[in-house]
Amino acid sequence: DTAVSQTPKYLVTQMGNDKSIKCEQNLGHDTMYWYKQDSKKFLKIMFSYNNKELIINETVPNRFSPKSPDKAHLNLHINSLELGDSAVYFCASSRGGASNQPQHFGDGTRLSIL
């Protein structure tokens, strides 16, 4: 059973297009996250949601819009894709917002902008 699943695993698209990445977790967690991993493998938090409410938005361009229809889902929609958006995007979840809870990650979505 996959705990945190993201779709698609790979996404290749043209500059200027709009795309979405879906994330679902079946762990019963109430906090979910999006991270971006750049070409140098650096991981940076983008958004976190707790019980469907936005907690943080780390200076991410407003072309990125997360949406949480329920606690188990956190989708990421990206408008007007740019070359610099090429990266691996990870979804993660954890139990509550406590700092002692480890985060469980999806397998990542590699986004390539042509």
Of 13-21, 60-68, 69-77, 100-108, the window that binds another protein (rule: CB under 8 A) is: 100-108
The one among 44, 63, 65, 80 contacting another protein by CB under 8 A: 44
Q: Are 78 and 99 in contact (CB under 8 A)?
A: no
Give 17 or 102: the residue with its C-beta nearer to another protein: 102
CA-closest candidate to residue 72, choices 32, 20, 101, 21: 32
Give 15 or 54: the residue with its C-beta nearer to another protein: 54
CA distances from 101 to 13, 67, 92, 104, 111 (A): 35, 23, 12, 9, 28
Give 6 or 75: the residue with its C-beta nearer to another protein: 6
